[in-house]
Amino acid sequence: MNICRSLLVCCLIGLVSAPSLFAQQNKNRRPRRANLTIPEVAPADVICFALYTVHDNTLKLTAQLYPLGDDAERTLRLEVNKDGRWRQVATAKVIEAGWTAPFRVENWDDTQTVSYRVRHGQQASYEGTIRNNPVDKDEIVVAAFTGNSIQPAHGGDISRQDLLDNVRRVDADVLFFSGDQVYDHHRHYAAWLKFGRDFGDIIKDRPTVCLPDDHDAGQPNLWGESGKISTLPGAADGGYSQPGVYVQEVERAQTSHLPDPADPHKIGQGIGVYYTNLNWGGVDFAILEDRKFKTGPAGRVPKQGPRPDHIRNPDYDPASVDVEGAVLLGQRQLNFIDRWAQDWRQAKMKVALSQTIFCGGAHIHGSANGRLHADMDSNGWPQSGRNRALESLRKAFAFHCAGDQHLATIFHHGIDEHRDAIWSFCVPSIANLYLRWWEPLEPGANREPGAPQYTGDHLDGFANKVTNYAAANPDKQPAGNILNTRAAGFGIVRLNTATREITMECWPRNVDVTDPAAEQYPGWPRTISQFDNYRPPSWGTLGELQFDVDSPVVQLVEADSDEVLYTVRVAGKRFSPPAPEGRTFRVKAGVETPQRVILKDARVGGDPQAVSLQ
């Protein structure tokens, strides 16, 4: 019993520099791990870093500490500098499992930029900047990252200075880490401190979203299945390999600074949820959890490869794996997206952030000859759950940014026809060992002139409709620069709230993104309209609406079923609502909410209408 308790404590706080008993017993079967230690620091340096967000005039900030001594104070103070004087605005108790201190300040004035400092005792002080809400900016810049490995096989502890420099060069408004901030499956705390030492200088001064993924939670793949306990190697039966308290600590460290959860009810093993939204700069970000509710494939889908989640049989029937009852986002999260899609208060654009994209975004895994017909660790499976997620997101004309795949791509997703749903940008990994390639066997249909054959309309391995526009495939025999030949890098998304244009940039490592000679990966940059996220090729438009107010909210409702097809804030005073042929609709509109019916029995090809909302 004492041995089990010791092992659990080691897992929880990572306060071990030598391998655990489990690691010693399995050292011949496990890959080399990074040499992670928790440094001893002076009392003045006990605060490692801090993360924050501001949403709906509430500041949430989590300070991450090094281990405190037995006699050290367990309360931290948060102070802000106003008119040249420091004033305390909050205190927070230290949570010893993971050594975090979560602050909350309501009635926060987000119109001002202020300096802050977190203090511990009489010596420790950590300073940063809480930015003002950039609602007066036309362009909101998101810097997006994934796959922050420091494992020796991934290239080791390569400097991240080029990433920090580029974030400062573009003066990013939001930082997005989509997952795998930590690659050590047993020492999250030690690795998280290392993440903070590497990125803290940019995180401390701007809102940051971190989404824990499988490696963060201590396993190679993750189908969370609402918190069940996994019993299979690889966890393909669904659930978590590490104890629930370990997962709770991981999520507390990485997500407790996010806005309050949309639905805080816990799942199995006492694990919480963090899916929510962050409204910043007129952009409303839905923060999703793709892994937490997802069903595991083992025991539900016939095994057709060396692993339960890998299908290597090219003749299999994709419909056979879309088994009844298999879950992707889960009904609770879908309900949240549906509510979020209709709420456009103080929002001009909608963006979804999650761990990975809604398709099988690669054909070759691991090595150049590792063709895999379908991968159930992707969000292409289960197909019905994938389609339900896209149906909800397109109702908000939401753009999607994610990571995890180790391969940067741009896809326009389809459900009933190609290109009838949202666009996604999967950003490249910061460091990359496990390589993937988007390399379909047949050329894509409807490719743009001069575009590579791998672009265009395709079906992924689950027969999902996808249109590819770019893929940063690594070299088939990577050599030389371990970062750039393996297609490592990061993404930048520019969201123009005035024109409603979205520009995706995909940069390799060790370049200056402001240098005119610096080149992005082939296929980038690419700019789309916000309205491209739900404008199916088969649709027409209703008659043009001419409003007497600027940028009202418009909602399209099917007359027969009362189904809301979409809700969106118009750009300017003119809007021609896209709509399917042969059906009848009601159109609702309002300044902040679509509360008034402005058209009844509207059909494609109708006459222009002048609309007064004043």
User: In this predicted structure, what is the pLDDT of residue 524?
Assistant: 98
User: In this predicted structure, what is the pLDDT of residue 434?
Assistant: 85
∠ CA 351-164-174 to the nearest 5 degrees?
A: 20
pLDDT score of 13 more than 70: no
Contact between 72 and 19 (Cβ < 8 Å): no
User: In this predicted structure, what is the pLDDT of residue 480?
Assistant: 58
User: In this predicted structure, what is the pLDDT of residue 271?
Assistant: 98
Instruction: Estimate the share of the chain in helix, then strand, then coil, as percent rounded to the nearest 5.
Output: 15, 30, 55
Domain with CATH 3.60.21.70 in the chain: 140-534
Mean pLDDT, range 11-37, rounded to an integer: 42
Of the listed ranges 7-11, 212-216, 226-230, 400-404, the least confidently predicted one is: 7-11
User: In this predicted structure, what is the pLDDT of residue 154?
Assistant: 61
What is the torsional sign of CA 211, 400, 573, 601? Answer: negative
285-298 per-position pLDDT tens digit? 999 999 999 999 99
Q: Is the full-model pTM beyond 0.85?
A: yes
User: In this predicted structure, what is the pLDDT of residue 280?
Assistant: 98
Q: Token pair of 242, please?
A: 């590490």
552-563 per-position pLDDT tens digit? 999 999 999 999
pLDDT score of 173 more than 70: yes
User: In this predicted structure, what is the pLDDT of residue 35?
Assistant: 73
pLDDT score of 530 more than 70: yes
The contacts found for 22-31 with CB under 8 angstroms, 24 or more apart, are: 22/186, 23/186, 31/151, 31/153
Per-residue burial over 314-336, b = 16 or more CB atoms within 10 Å of its CB, e = otherwise = eebebeebbbeebbbbbebbbeb
**H/E element, 162:** helix 161-170
Its CATH architecture, for the domain 140-534, is: 4-Layer Sandwich (3.60)
pLDDT score of 207 more than 50: yes
Separation between Cα atoms, residue 495 and residue 410, nearest integer Å: 16
User: In this predicted structure, what is the pLDDT of residue 32?
Assistant: 57
Q: Confidence class of residue 368 from pLDDT cuts 50, 70 and 90?
A: confident
pLDDT score of 22 more than 90: no
Report the range out of 473-477, 568-572, 605-609 with the highest average pLDDT: 568-572
480-503 per-position pLDDT tens digit? 566 767 899 999 999 999 999 999
CA nearest 296: which of 228, 372, 197? 228
Separation between Cα atoms, residue 350 and residue 531, nearest integer Å: 11
CATH number 2.60.40 is the correct assignment for the domain at 540-611: yes
| Average pLDDT value for the chain | 92
CATH topology of domain 43-130: Immunoglobulin-like (2.60.40)
126-172 per-position pLDDT tens digit? 999 999 999 999 999 999 999 998 776 666 788 999 999 999 999 99
Mean pLDDT, range 412-438, rounded to an integer: 95
User: In this predicted structure, what is the pLDDT of residue 247?
Assistant: 98
Q: Confidence class of residue 25 from pLDDT cuts 50, 70 and 90?
A: very low
Q: What is the dihedral of CA 367, 372, 375, 379, to 10 degrees?
A: 80
40-71 per-position pLDDT tens digit? 999 999 999 999 999 999 999 999 999 999 99
Q: Report which residue type is found at 47.
A: I
Separation between Cα atoms, residue 218 and residue 231, nearest integer Å: 14
